[in-house]
Structure 1
Amino acid sequence: MLRAIGSKKDLELLPFYDLISDLLEHETVQSLKQFRHHVQTTRFQHSLNVAYYNYIFCSRFGWDARAAARAGMLHDLFFYNRKEYVRKSGEAFHSKRHPQMACSEASRLFTLSTREKDIILKHMWPMTPTRLPRYKESMVIVLTDKYCAMLEVVIPLFRKLFRRCSSASK
């Protein structure tokens, strides 16, 4: 069963899945499962979370939910451990650089619309102030990316705290 954090729905049973199934099945996207992201999750799961919530939000407002979902799945398509990269390179600007890397890799593997490219490139705004979001969907990913990151860090911490509290009360 494929799920997004904070949701109990099986994503494979939703129209959302049909929009990104070709991406999910691609071996390069699958390789994102090798990389830790936001402490307790993988970069694949994080991207799936962002794709799903982008889709939900844009669908409700009648915006381009397809582009939002596909770009969400590809927004962190880079293949190195970001913490090691910063430590070894001394470059503290991973947050500003990785959207370009992800867009370049995604464009190499898939045919992207102009909107999808903008969504991927702008997902770290305002940390990338020279790249203002051009589309509504590009602003949505700015918010959903941070929302999902927060869930990915906070939910495991609350689960751990709950387990400690429940075992202490026994």
Structure 2
Amino acid sequence: ISGVPVELTQWGRGANFAIPLPFLTCVIPAFFIAWLILSKSAWGKWVYACGFNEHATRLVGIPVDRLRLLVYCLSGLLAGCAGFISLSWLGSARPEIGVNLELESLTAALLGGVAIFGGRGSVVGVLAAALMLVTIKTCMLQLGLNSVWQLGVVGLLLIIVLMAQRLFIYRR
């Protein structure tokens, strides 16, 4: 679907000091807000507690259902922001643009330190892991590797991280 206003594509494709404008105006503020909320507020501790043991969190008196609804709403807001950024960058709406990105997002989260069973993780680690994955995929693209191999490398990273987490959990 085309017909995106020129001003929007100028913003989506623009850069300041070689850093894309959407990254400066959307990603960095969202990262900073998420970091503040999750690491510095009681609500962030509730989110970690709910991820680690929902039943215990409920017994302590934390409104788990309301908390889960708010976290899903924030997730939807960030997904909408990502859709807006892709619309402004590409200049058209493409319904298949997010296909097969589940593997990459899961790998970035786990590689960034988020525990598969919940309760642990950091926004800084996930951002660093996501940037690392983008760098690896860009390097493989520049080397001319097929996208199947890129997907295989991401899957291999996911398997390695899951094995490392499993070993770490059982050693504690």
TM-score range, shorter chain: under 0.3
User: Based on CA coordinates, which of the two structures has the bigger radius of gyration?
Assistant: 2
TM-score, L = length of structure 1: 0.27
| Structure with the larger helix share | 2
